Amino acid sequence: MAASNAILGFGTKYLIGSDASPSVLTELLEVTDVVFPNLQGDDVEVTHHQSPDRTREYIAGLIEPGECSVTVNWIPGNATDVRTQELHISGENKQHRITLTNGVTWTFNGIVKGREPSTPIDDRATMVITMKVAGSVTVVVPSP
C-alpha cells in the first residue's frame, strides 16, 4: 500500500493586495482557518419536446465563483482588523491569494463582503472575514 501524500493545513497563508501600484500582497495575521472558494457551475436546461425518455436535459452554464472565508484571532486595531475593515467599507476589489504549505496557490480578485467578530466568555476572540470572489480563480501547482 502506498504512503499518503496528505498535507497539514498548518502553515496556510491568506494574502490580500495593497493599494500600492504595483500592488503588494500582505499576509493576514493569526489565521486559524481558511475555507476556499466554492465554485459552482450553473445548470442550463435544454429540454425539448423530443428529449429522450421524457427526461430533462442540461448543459453547463456559467461558473459562479462563490465566496471564501478566513477565520482569524481577532485583535481589535491590529493590521488585519484595520485593513479588512477599510476594504469592507470601501468595497474595493483586490487580489487575494491562498498559499498552501506544498506551494499550491489559489489567486483571485475579490471584495471583503463581511466581518463577523465573536467574543465568547471562555475562549479567544475570533473574526470570520467573508470574501466574494469576483472573477475566475487561478490555481497554480508547482512543478515537482
Where do the domains of the chain lie?
13-43+59-140
The answer on pLDDT for 143 being more than 90 is no
Mean pLDDT to the nearest integer, 42-64: 97
3-state secondary structure of 117: strand
Q: Name residues whose C-beta falls within 8 Å of residue 105's C-beta, 6 or more positions apart in sequence.
A: 97, 98, 99, 138, 139, 140
pLDDT surpasses 80 at 29: yes
Cis bond before residue 144 (omega within 30° of 0): no
* pTM of the complete model: 0.90
Query: 82 φ, ψ to 5°?
Result: -65, -45
Torsion angles phi and psi, residue 19, rounded to 5: -85, -10
| CATH number of 13-43+59-140, picked from 3.10.20.520, 3.30.2020.30, 3.40.570.10, 4.10.410.40 | 4.10.410.40
